Each structure stands twice: as structure tokens, then as C-alpha cells.
A and B are shown apart, each in its own frame.
Chain A
């Protein structure tokens, strides 16, 4: 055993404690960094050199100090994949709730449509009360046309807003696709860097943190989940059972379907991987948006249309020729095309003389359980109900995602207090090692400089 082994033991400790303090410092520095995963220095004792007979110190040897075996990244695979799923679910529910909240706004609240209908019935009732063959009747007819057009305009506005919402959502889906493709190629790049860096034996923990954050963005956007690749630090990103990122190779997604709304019969919008025509079962915001484009908004347009056709059919049926409501394009009446095209002089209160059976009939539609009011009420309540349910679901899933984030943060985040305690421990160990160094130095000093002068 070398006389200088004490020095090298002290040195290994000094080096190890410094490395450990560096890692604690890195942890503390990133205590507030989003997505940072705490690291820990793992140390092990170094075994002593094999004892040789010539040492004359038969039977026992000391170890040769301490070494850093690895700097571990304390990732939590389970919590992280739970967070990916929860994030995707929350984004899907959030997108759904967002679309329905917009649709609900487009309804115009309690008063717009039902107010317009009420005024229209009031105008017909006014025509019945006024003398239909006198001057008061002429004024009442003008009012009937004006109020009817007001109802038609409200319906047209509803249809136009629904179309505009559809276009907004379509635009947002396009932006989302671009974003997803950009993030996917970043993830692939990071995968490559991680594999290369780890190949040199150096840790790539910070790169992995950065990549996991990006994957979580993909979870939110398209419901992606990550699957670790065997034997390397890289991950595959899977969407709907297919690989969006395959190690260092990034795929891309495209949107197919109509680019503008064509009423309630709008064809479905789908997302597929580039190079494939099969629709991809996406999750996250993308799923919420495609659902809105394919099902929700065409359904809403159908609701507006039902009110418009009911109104036109029933009022026109009572009024006879010429019809009160027609389509601006000359085709079938829909919410987008309905208009009160009749001229005031053609409005009939009744079949002959001062008969007011037509006007009375129209007013009675307001009480009918299959009339325009009832249709509107059904549509309004159904939409509000769907919005309410979607909102509840969005809150619940957002809460679940928060909770999953909490679990992950609690397991992989930095606890400054414990890092401080670690730091103190390493500091003391460093001081101790320095003290050992001094002691060995003094011993050697005694041995080298004081030999032969003892007692002189």
C-alpha cells in the first residue's frame, strides 16, 4: 500500500463532492424551470488495490476512495404517461366546450330569436285587430312584413355565424397541423441528439427534459403518447396507434375534407398521416376540432334550418299564394336563405272581406307544440344543454390533468429544501476530505522532513 494512497482517497472525495454540489446547484437553478426533471448523483466506494505479500500488511486493505457511478435523471415513466393521456383528454374536452360555447353565443341569448318571433306574432295580431280593408290595415301589413323580415334576418345571421365559426375552426385546425408537424420534427431532432450524446457516454438529461415537454404539447394537440425505444434514450411518439415520430424520423399529418361549410350536409373532415389515406384516430384538440367540423357545427346548422323551414312551411301554408317566406336563391328555404320577400300589399289577413282567419292562424302558431317557437325552444335548450355538459366535462378533465401534472411535479420536481440539505451534506464531506488531505500532508511532512531529527 502506497504511502500516498491517503492523498488519492482525499482527492477522489474532493472530486466526487464537487460533482455532487454541481448537480445540486443545477437542481436548485432549475427549481422553477417547467419540465425540469431532478437529477441525483449516485456514488459508490472504490475497492482498494489487491493486497500483496510484499506490503507486509497482511490481511487487510483500505478502499481507494469514492467515485461517481452516474448522474441519474429521476424521471417517473408512469406519472409522465398518465399526464400525456390526461392532457390529451383535457384538450379534447376543452376544444369541444370551446366550440359549443361559441355556438351558444351565436344563439343570441334568451331574447334575440324569441323576441323577434314574439314581435312577428304581435304584428299579425295587430293586423287582425286593425281593419284589414282600411288604412290601419295597410300600416299593419307593413309592420307584418317588417317583423317577418326581422325573424328571417335573425335566422340568416345565426346561419352565417355558424358558417363563420366553421371557417374559424377549420383555420385553427390548419394552424394546429402546421404546429404539430414542426413539433414532431423537433422531437425527432432531439431524439437523434440524445442518442448521439449518450453514445459518447455523456448524459443528455436536459435534452430529454426538453423533448418530453414537446411530446406533452403533442399530447395536447393530437393526443400523442410516448413509447420509449429499447436500449436508447429516444422515444417514439404514437398517435392513434400509428407512429408520428419513429426515433429520429418525423412523420407529418394532413387535413382532408371540405374547406367551406355547405349547410347541414357538410362532409366530414379527417386527419391522416402523410403517405396514408386512412383516417388517423387523433385525440386532443385536433379531435375536438374535427368533431366540431364533421358533427357539431353541421348539427347546429340543421337546428337553425329546422326553425327556418318550420316557420316558412307553416306561415306559407296558412297564407297561401304568394308565400310570405321564400329563399333568396329561389331554392328550398334554409336558415341561410330565408327572407320575407312578400310585398306589404299582398299580405292577406283572411280569405275575404274583413275575415282575419289567416292572421289569427299565424298568431296561434306561437302556442303550437310543433310551431317555430317550439322548434326554437327545442334547439336552444338542446344546444345550451350540450354546452353545459361539455363545460362540466372540460372542468373535470382539466382538473384531472392538473392532478396528473401535480403527481408528476411532486415526483420529478425540485424540492429546494432537500437540495439545500444535500448541498450542506456534500459541503461538509468536502471539508472533511480537505481535512483528511491536511492530516495526510502533515503525516508525510513528519515522515519526510522530520525523520532522523527526532530528539535532536
Chain B
């Protein structure tokens, strides 16, 4: 590389006093070269469409461009995370609605079992139905998205609730952790739902309640009716979680809209900083072309005449 190659013809040179042959032609050359340099710059701006050919052309602009590029890359991530959050919450919402509908069915069965008209065979059949509902409820609570249990927090297990040998349902280890998505600068939204909050914990869990209900149904009508209160409590927990998920879902959706708007404004700001205004650049090109022609014309006029033309 040549490091000492700074053009000597960056500006028109000075010719004062006597008009010497080398002085005049040197100045004309320098002026032409300077005009050609400006013309070449204008041409590059039009051809490349880029305002900043080198960062040193516009240091402040380059700095802003760097920041805008970083912000745009972040928007890309927010947009990905947003789609992911919507899927998480959508999956959770569907699961919770199914849970609510399962509990409604269980409640209907409990009411039915509260009648003395049921035979013991009928009660056994109802109890069996309720046990199936409990299994369905467990499957619902273990709903997964991309292989991760949506009610399992940050557990490494494939399920949110596991059943041990005695049939007792316990939350998986690590289920207490929260899954967060960053959806906008400084905005983290939780996308998982605590399994214990939605389905209850230990003896108060919806699984234990359904187990108890199945036992109560076989016991008799009074015992069955007594379970209605606990069923309503479990239903309340599910619908509260459902409302919570719904709120977060709509928040994520509105963040998606503002994210799209932000991305648009960042893109347009980046264009403003980095890209040339074509009309302006073309005007500049035309002006520099004129200036170049003028420099050539002036040089031709200045260098040509001498006293020789008049000595005959």
C-alpha cells in the first residue's frame, strides 16, 4: 500500500503575481482535477446509493448508522420472540379452556351423583367417568409446546406433573422457574403459566379433588354434593389463570403491533442516515458535471493564447 498518496490536486492552487507558463497550466490542472474529484464523488453517491462511502465521510452519521443497525438486529430478535410468545400463550390458553370444560363435565357428574336415584352400578360408572376426566386433566396439564411443558416453568423434565407409584401427582423439579421473553427494549413478558397456580398443589390440586370426587361418588349422594364446593374452587383457579393468560396474550399482541411500527421507523431512519436522496444526488451530479465542463473550458481559454498568436 502507498500511505503517502494524498492527492496534491485537492484544491485549486494559488497563482499570484506573474503569470508564468507552469504556474498557469499547473493551476488549471489543479482546478480540473479538483472538479473531476468532486464529480467522481457525486457519481459514486448516485451509483452506490449510499451516503456514507467511508465512515470518515460522516462520523456522526456512521455512529448513528451503527446504533440503528444494532437496534434493527434487536427488533429481529423481538419479532422472533414475539411469535414464540404468542404460540406459548395460545397453547396455554387452549389447554386451560380444555381444563375448564373438563371440570364443568366433572361438576355435572357430581351434581348427577348427588341424586339418590342413582344405583350403585350407576355410581360406579360415574366414578369411572370421573377418573377418566382426571387422566384427561393430567394430560391437559402436561400440554407441551416444542417439547416443553407449558405449565412446567424451567423444568428439564418432559412433563409438568408426574405420577408416582401410589397415583399421587407432583410437580416436576424446576417447575417453579419462569420462562421470559424479551419483546421490546426492556420489556420482558412471562410466557409460561405456573402449573400449581392453575391446577393447585398437593391435596388441594384438581387431580386430588377429582380423585376424592370419584371416591365420594361411590360413597353416596351426600358425599358427592359436598365435593361441589371444592370443584368450584378448582374451577376458580383455572379461570383465574385463563384470564391471566388472556391478558398477557393481548399484551403480547399489542407489543407485536408497536414492534412492527418501531421496526418501520428504525428502517426509515436508517435509510435517512445511510442512503442518498436520489433526486438530490442527481442534482448534485448535474451541478458537478457543469462545474467540470466549466473548468475544462476555462483551462482551454487560459492556456491557449500567447503573444505568439499576435506576432507575425
Contacts and interface: CB of A to CB of B under 8 A. Distances in A.
A377 B67 contact: yes
A130 interface: yes
Contact of B20 (A91, A366, A413): A413
Nearest to A394: B6
A102 B22 contact: no
B308 interface: yes
B223 interface: no
State the 10 A-B residue pairs at the shortest beta-carbon distance, nearest first. A413-B20, A353-B156, A118-B73, A94-B6, A98-B3, A384-B55, A402-B13, A406-B14, A388-B56, A403-B14
Chain A interface helix/strand/loop/mixed: helix
Given A350-B154, A398-B11, A110 B4 contact: no
Interface residues of B, number: 68
Contacts of A405: 13, 26
Nearest to B157: A353
Given A32-B22, A110-B65, A398 B307 contact: no
A189 B154 CA distance: 86
B62 A384 contact: yes
Interface string A259-279: 000000000000000000000
Contacts of B180: 360
Contacts of A94: 4-6
A134 B307 CA distance: 92
Contact of A354 (B21, B30, B154): B154
Interface of B: 1-23, 25-27, 30, 52, 54-57, 59, 62-63, 65-67, 69-70, 73-74, 76-77, 80-81, 84, 146-148, 152, 154-157, 173-174, 177, 179-182, 185, 274, 306-308, 311
Interface in A71-128: 90-91, 93-95, 97-102, 104-105, 107, 109-111, 114-115, 117-119, 121-122, 125-126
Interface residues of A, number: 88
A178 interface: no
A150 to B, nearest CB: 14
Interface in A215-239: none
Given A110-B69, A353-B173, 20 more contacts: A34-B22, A90-B6, A98-B5, A134-B146, A356-B179, A364-B182, A377-B67, A380-B55, A381-B66, A384-B55, A384-B56, A387-B55, A387-B56, A391-B56, A402-B12, A403-B13, A407-B16, A414-B20, A420-B308, A424-B311
A317 B65 CA distance: 29
B182 to A, nearest CB: 7
A413 B18 contact: yes
A410 interface: yes
26 contacts: A93-B6, A117-B70, A118-B70, A118-B76, A119-B73, A126-B80, A131-B146, A131-B148, A134-B147, A288-B3, A355-B154, A364-B182, A377-B70, A380-B66, A387-B55, A387-B56, A388-B56, A398-B6, A407-B17, A409-B15, A410-B19, A413-B18, A413-B23, A414-B22, A416-B21, A418-B18
Given A131-B147, A384-B55, A110 B18 contact: no
